Structure 1
Amino acid sequence: MLLTGITGLYIAQSVIGGITWTALPALMREADVPLDRIGLVSLIALPWVLKFLWAPMVERYRLPKTGGNRSGAIVLFGGLISIFGLILSGSLDPSGWMPLFAILTVVAFAASTVDIACDGFAVQSLASGHHGWANAAQVGGAYLGSALGGGLFLYLVGTSDWQIATWAMAAVLLLLGLPFLLVASRMPSEARREHVPSLLHALRRPLLRRGLFAAGTFVVAQKVSLGMIGPFLVDQGLDLKTIGLINGSGSLVIGSAAALVGGACVRAWGARPVLILALVLQACLLSLLAAASLTGAFSVPIMIMIAITSSSGVMAFGFVALYAQFMRLSDPRQAGVDFTLFQCCDAAVSIIGGVVAGHIAEAFGYGVFFSAAAALALAVVPLIARVSADDHSGHPSNDRGVTPGSGAR
């Protein structure tokens, strides 16, 4: 039941992300919004970049010095804001991007705050032997949520309209959040805690700083092309209904399967080989997309397969290893703060990469853009080989004086 509740929240957060970063760019492109404006969608992720600023306050509220765990209260309040935000978004025209951006930014703020509580709850409540399942919940839940938010949502827009599709996703969020609230209500009501969560405690740890560098390096190579794949398919003549089916099936089938394969490979080989292999595979696929754009030699079905393998398969495969490192490097006494720092690094790089990607694609075309993204993925391989965890079990020796999972109850 615990994993079910946690998985539900990860799926819900990715439904919001799928609507924002997968569906919205395609909708804007169909409305003839320029690519450089579409690149600004990445700015909606600002709360995910800045949430480290309020993560200590959230953790102190969630884990008071005396009293029960308040994760449920944070999830309830943040979830209601997210649901109301989607309902309000449904009343707007997606081509009028500024009001929509403002509302979705508020939703992102609520969802990112919920994520602080959810990540902290997961690291703290699960014994280290179950962290692999939590990583599968994170990555697998992300791709299932993306299938709903980026796939089913676009399909509903194409077959009905924006309002019905958006309100349907609001209902999905409500259903996904209920299991966690049931789990949180059963947590022990009394506890005493000596540690006070803080950013300073996190940033003093050398392993955490090394993990931040590894995260930024890996994410910039893997995610820089993500926001341009939807517009690329639109410009190849695909309609929203077809793209919705592609995103949905790719995330649900390829992404989920790749997450399971990635988890098995991390368990067998360790994190470093999986991260390197993911970068090499991404470079190959982006090179094929560049060739498709420059030469026009590939058929539409082949381009579709390349696109979904890149955005769903390889991404899921690599991020299982990356998130496994995040969890194992987080101090369970303030897991919400530590894990948040890793995710903020991820979001910051995604924002910068998304904005730059839009300008490069608009100025030079998809062929040059995808070629540059492929070269970048190969260029960071030596850096990832140096800074990623090299322990075969995926459990790097830590420097915080506690064992991963020692905060489990």
Structure 2
Amino acid sequence: MVSAGTLAAEMDGQDLPAPAAVVIGVGGLYVAQSVIGGVFFTGLPAVMRESGASLNEIAFILITVLPWSFKFLWSPLVERLRAPHGRPRRSRAVVSAIGAFGVGALAACAFIGPTALAPLAVAMMVASFASATADIATDGYAVENLAAKNRGWGNAAQVGGAYLGNAVGGGVFLILVDHFGWTPATLVMAFVLVALAVPFLTVRETAPARSADAPPQSLRAALRRPEVRYGLLLVAVYVVGQKWAALLLGPFLTDAGVSLSTLGVVNGLGITASGLIGAFSGGYLLRRFGAYPIMQATLAAHVVALLGFAVCAYLEARSQGAIAALIAAQLVGGATFALGVTALYSELMGRVSLAQAGVDFTLFQSADAIVSVIGWQITGSFGDRLGYAFCFATAAALGVAALLTLPFLSRRGSALPREAHQGA
């Protein structure tokens, strides 16, 4: 089974859609998916709390993350519908049909209201399932229709779209609720989803049909390939190095004396802006330096920041200067994190098979989600008992281990030679 990386030269010679059109098209879908996440995970908890919901009821929202963690289970079915062997691709039709369920479910939430927990949970699960499923088809389309040298921009749209969508769903949505009420605000979000999907529906699709007698897309076929197996290991190593301490940053800054309003501005405007800078600078930097040097540099910066947090926690630093330094470190960390993730997923795009791009790429994303959740559970469980300093220092040690492992992984299972990365 041939990988996207080994067919890079062939794809560059195809009559592919204009890169800008593809990036804008898939970028709109990535923003839309994160709008749903922002509404459910940031906006809705605040609205429910204001309406008198208990924290236990609000925590029930977390079930809507399950489709994103386990979407790899039905990715082969979606890919068979999107890219049937022997027939033309039909990404737009699949995204339109699945996306309609997501829009309809969000519109249903508008009329259900934030206090009817049981029917609201059903509608949220439908919307989350539709969003996660549409993402499988979106990723498959992006891999097939972006030449190797332009994949960095596709991943920049994916990472940047997540920041923008969360800002709309978690920020603009709450402003609308405050001024106009739940129903009008939620209906506006449903309309935003439709508007964001329009650019994708106008982009043509040029990926050639595979042979009719090719084996069906499957998880087994993905796991047979060393590019995928080492790619899953790369995801696990990088996530352990980058994400496991993320859950502690907000509580640590709060305990250090940062006000909730300041933290809200930092996490809202500050992290969104720095994340967008990191994501979209990745589109340029990837073409100049390649994925692995960027991943190594961002991991190293992350380790330095974690050591700084550990020292401040150990010394119980509470001065204005220390707090300003911590906030600055978090903002810089937001940019380097987004840059590193953009590089990671650009590398992973080169490891997928063009015969089942949606399946392979979804495996990588689900691995990212599962390893992240495991890490957050571990840090959440041990944070109170072991203290911030120990947890940050341990996370820094894991980052060093990941940094030392990257050179080995760069030589194992990579579908695209280093020269091709740098020359793209």
TM-score range, shorter chain: 0.7 to 0.9
Aligned to 2:152: 132
Unaligned runs of 5+ in 2: 1-20
What's the secondary structure of 2:417's corresponding residue? coil
347-356 or 150-159: bigger deviation = 150-159
1:124-158 alpha-carbon deviations (Å, 9 max, x no partner): 12233332322222222223223323444455567
2:373 and 2:302 mapped to 1: Cα distance? 19
TM superposition shift of 1:329: 0.6
- Paired amino acid for 2:190: A
Aligned to 2:221: 201
Q: Do the aligned partners of 1:42 and 1:354 also contact (CA within 8 Å) in 2?
A: no
Is 1:213 the counterpart of 2:249 in the alignment? Answer: no
- Paired amino acid for 2:416: H
Aligned to 2:417: 396
TM superposition shift of 1:215: 0.6
112-121 or 18-27: bigger deviation = 18-27
TM superposition shift of 1:364: 4.8
- Paired amino acid for 1:201: A
One of 55, 64, 77 as aligned partner of 2:84: 64
Write the mapping of 1:5-404 to structure 2, written as runs, cut at 5 A: 5-20=25-40, 44-89=64-109, 91-93=112-114, 103-153=123-173, 166-183=186-203, 186-187=204-205, 193-194=211-212, 195=214, 196-230=216-250, 236=257, 238-239=259-260, 243=263, 245-291=265-311, 294-298=316-320, 301-310=324-333, 312-364=334-386, 366-388=388-410, 395-396=416-417
Aligned to 1:407: none
1:341 and 1:110 mapped to 2: Cα distance? 17
1:204-250 alpha-carbon deviations (Å, 9 max, x no partner): 1112111110111111222223344455566656446x655433423
2:94 and 2:327 mapped to 1: Cα distance? 40
222-231 or 169-178: bigger deviation = 222-231
Aligned residue pairs, count: 392
TM superposition shift of 1:270: 2.5
What's the secondary structure of 1:332's corresponding residue? coil
Distance 1:108-1:175 versus aligned 2 partners, 3 A rule: same
Larger radius of gyration: 2
- Paired amino acid for 2:330: A
> TM-score, length-normalised on structure 2?
0.77
Aligned-pair RMSD on alpha carbons? 3.8
TM superposition shift of 1:331: 1.2
> TM-score, length-normalised on structure 1?
0.80
- Paired amino acid for 1:48: W
Unaligned runs of 5+ in 1: 398-402, 405-409
Sequence identity, in percent?
A: 41
Distance 1:163-1:375 versus aligned 2 partners, 3 A rule: farther
6-15 or 254-263: bigger deviation = 254-263
What's the secondary structure of 2:356's corresponding residue? helix
1:349-392 alpha-carbon deviations (Å, 9 max, x no partner): 1221233333334555555544443333233221223213589x
152-161 or 283-292: bigger deviation = 152-161
Q: Do the aligned partners of 1:78 and 1:110 also contact (CA within 8 Å) in 2?
A: yes
1:177-216 alpha-carbon deviations (Å, 9 max, x no partner): 1211232xx5479956333322222111112111110111
